[in-house]
Amino acid sequence: MDIDIGITREDRKTITNGLSRLLADSYTLYLMTHNFHWNVKGPMFNTLHLMFETQYNELALAVDGIAERIRALGEPAPGTYAAFAALTRIEEPVGVPDAMSMIRALVKGQEAVVKTARELMPVVDTAGDEPTADLLTQRMQVHEKTAWMLRSLLED
């Protein structure tokens, strides 16, 4: 059954391709953050353990919203590690980095998600897809703020 919501099929496909990349970035960042939550150690253990938990819980909710938007636009949402690995721009560290390296990796991951969302915005604006624009704006706000908070931990 075709979808008649005022956005062309071609625009919906372009938007869902971008949202699939956003979903892959977000899920990859979720996994990395959860991994760091489990494996962080050192003098900042408690602070980072709790901060990472807050961040991965927020990401868990975000990926569901992104996937549901893809479905609402009529396309299947990617949902496998293989699909996410092929779509993400986030590079995961090998092994278990030290706490400061974890923070640096998470800053890069947060910023990568912002870039992915920002790249999609012109297509969404042109298509008049306000719900996706709202989702992208919300995601950029969260990730920019989280990146700032993480960067603050790296300053002297």
DSSP code for 144: H
pTM for the predicted model, two decimal places: 0.95
pLDDT the model gives residue 149: 96
Average pLDDT over residues 115-142: 97
pLDDT the model gives residue 6: 92
| Encoded tokens for 28 | 């990859």
Q: Which percentage of the chain shows pLDDT scores above 70?
A: 99
- Residue 156 confidence class, pLDDT cut points 50, 70, 90: confident
Structural contact between residues 118 and 141, judged by C-beta atoms closer than 8 angstroms: no
CA 136-137-139 angle, to 5 degrees, is: 65
Model confidence at 1: pLDDT above 80: no
Model confidence at 146: pLDDT above 70: yes
Average pLDDT over residues 132-136: 98
- 43-101 pLDDT, tens digit per residue, is 999 999 999 999 999 999 999 999 999 999 999 999 999 999 999 999 999 999 999 99
Average pLDDT over residues 4-16: 94
Model confidence at 123: pLDDT above 90: yes
Average pLDDT over residues 11-33: 98
Residue 90: HSE in the Cβ half-sphere, 13 Å Cα cutoff: 30
End-to-end CA distance of the chain: 58
State the Cα–Cα distance between residues 135 and 54, nearest whole angstrom. Answer: 20
